[in-house]
Structure 1
Amino acid sequence: MKSKLICLYLLLTVRLAFAGAGNDTLLDRLNKTIDHAHVLDAEKIRQINSIRQELSIGQSLSLQEQFRLCNLLYEQFKVFKYDSAFAYARRLRQLATLMNDPARINYAGVKLGFVMLSSGMFKETGDYLATIDVSSLPDSAKGEYYTLKGRYYYDLADYSSDEYFAPEYTRQGNIYTDSALMFSKPQTFQYAYNAGLMYQKKGNLDSARFYYMQAVAHPDITTHQVAIATSSLGNIYIRTDKQDSALTMMTRAAIADIASCTKETTAMFILAEMLFKAGDVKHASRYIEYAVADASFYGARLRKVQVSAILPIIEGEKVNSVEAQKKLLFIYAAIVTLLLLALVWLAVIIFRQYKKLQVAQQAITAAHTLQQEINEKLMEANKIKEEYIGYCFQTNSAYIDKVKKFKKLADQKLADSKYGEVKYLVNNIDLKEEREELFRNFDRIFLKIFPNFVTVFNSFFKEEDRIRLKDNELLNTDLRIFALIRIGVSDNVKIAQILEYSVNTIYTYKTKIKNKAIVPKEEFEERLMDIKAL
Structure 2
Amino acid sequence: MIRRLLLFQLLFFIATEGISQAGNDSLIAVLVKEIGRKEVYENRKQEMIEKLTRALTDINQLSDAAQFALYNDLYHAYKTFIYDSAFKYSQKLIETSYRLNDKTKIGYARIKLGFILISSGMFKETFDSLKVVEVRYLPDSSRVDYYRLLARAYSDLMVYNKDAFYREHYKQLDSNYMDSALQGCKPGSYFHYYLLAVKNLHEGKHREVIHTVEELMQRHTLTHPQLAMNYYDLGAAYLALDEPDKTIRYTVLSSLSDIRASTKETAAMYTLARLLYKKGDIEHAYIFINQALDDAEFYGARQRKVEIGSILPLIAAARLNSVEGQRRIWLTYSAGLTVLAALVVIFSVIIFKQLKKLKAAEAVIIKANANLQEINQRLLEADKIKEEYIGYYFSNNSEYINKIESFKKNIDQKIQSKKFEDIRFLVNGINPSHEREELYVNFDKIFLKLFPDFVSIFNSYFKPEDRIVPKETQLLNTELRIFALIRLGIHDPEKIARILGYSLNTIYAYKNRVKSKSVVPNDQFEQKIMGIKTVSLLKS
TM-score bracket relative to the smaller structure: 0.5 to 0.7
Deviates more, 1:190-199 or 1:97-106: 190-199
Equivalent position SS for 2:265: coil
User: How far 1:38 sits from its partner (Å)?
Assistant: 0.5
In the other structure, the counterpart of 1:328 is: 328
User: Aligned to 1:416, which of 434, 437, 446?
Assistant: 434
Change (3 A) 1:15 1:166: farther
Equivalent position SS for 1:265: coil
In the other structure, the counterpart of 1:147 is: 148
Superposed CA RMSD in Å reads 2.9
In the other structure, the counterpart of 1:431 is: 504
The residue correspondences of 1:77-96 to structure 2 (distance < 5 A) are 77-96=78-97
The superposition leaves residues 173-215 of structure 1 with CA deviations (integer Å, 9 ceiling, x where unpaired) of 0110111101112212211111111111112212122223233
Which letter maps to 1:213? E
Percent same amino acid among aligned pairs?
Answer: 33
Change (3 A) 1:428 1:78: farther
The runs of 5 or more residues in structure 2 that have no matched partner are 1-11, 337-429, 444-497, 510-521, 525-540
In the other structure, the counterpart of 1:246 is: 247
Which letter maps to 1:431? L
CA distance, structure 1, for counterparts of residue 183 and residue 133 of structure 2:
19
Which has the higher relative contact order, 1 or 2, with Cα contacts under 8 A spaced 6 or more apart?
2
In the other structure, the counterpart of 2:311 is: 310
How many residue pairs get matched? 355
> Given that residues 14 and 255 in structure 1 are in contact (C-alpha distance below 8 angstroms), is that contact kept between their aligned partners in structure 2?
no
Change (3 A) 1:254 1:419: farther
In the other structure, the counterpart of 1:476 is: none
Which letter maps to 1:325? G
User: How far 1:116 sits from its partner (Å)?
Assistant: 0.4
In the other structure, the counterpart of 1:380 is: none
User: How far 1:273 sits from its partner (Å)?
Assistant: 1.1
The residue correspondences of 1:101-500 to structure 2 (distance < 5 A) are 101-321=102-322, 324-329=324-329, 413-417=431-435, 420-421=438-439, 426-427=499-500, 431=504
CA distance, structure 2, for counterparts of residue 119 and residue 157 of structure 1:
16
> Given that residues 74 and 89 in structure 1 are in contact (C-alpha distance below 8 angstroms), is that contact kept between their aligned partners in structure 2?
yes
Change (3 A) 1:45 1:471: closer
Which letter maps to 1:294? D
The superposition leaves residues 206-234 of structure 1 with CA deviations (integer Å, 9 ceiling, x where unpaired) of 21222232334442211100000001110
> Given that residues 324 and 419 in structure 1 are in contact (C-alpha distance below 8 angstroms), is that contact kept between their aligned partners in structure 2?
no
> Given that residues 321 and 499 in structure 2 are in contact (C-alpha distance below 8 angstroms), is that contact kept between their aligned partners in structure 1?
no
> Given that residues 81 and 263 in structure 1 are in contact (C-alpha distance below 8 angstroms), is that contact kept between their aligned partners in structure 2?
yes
The superposition leaves residues 480-525 of structure 1 with CA deviations (integer Å, 9 ceiling, x where unpaired) of xxxxxxxxxxxxxxxxxxxxxxxxxxxxxxxxxxxxxxxxxxxxxx
The superposition leaves residues 220-256 of structure 1 with CA deviations (integer Å, 9 ceiling, x where unpaired) of 2111000000011101111111010011100000000
Which letter maps to 1:172? L
Equivalent position SS for 2:266: coil
User: How far 1:420 sits from its partner (Å)?
Assistant: 4.1
> Given that residues 324 and 499 in structure 2 are in contact (C-alpha distance below 8 angstroms), is that contact kept between their aligned partners in structure 1?
no
Q: TM-score, normalised by structure 2?
A: 0.61
Q: TM-score, normalised by structure 1?
A: 0.62
Change (3 A) 1:15 1:269: farther
CA distance, structure 1, for counterparts of residue 293 and residue 90 of structure 2:
25
Larger radius of gyration: 1
The superposition leaves residues 415-467 of structure 1 with CA deviations (integer Å, 9 ceiling, x where unpaired) of 3235744897522878369879xxxxxxxxxxxxxxxxxxxxxxxxxxxxxxx
CA distance, structure 1, for counterparts of residue 301 and residue 45 of structure 2:
19
User: How far 1:275 sits from its partner (Å)?
Assistant: 1.1
The runs of 5 or more residues in structure 1 that have no matched partner are 1-10, 337-411, 437-469, 473-534
> Given that residues 250 and 271 in structure 1 are in contact (C-alpha distance below 8 angstroms), is that contact kept between their aligned partners in structure 2?
yes
Equivalent position SS for 1:200: helix
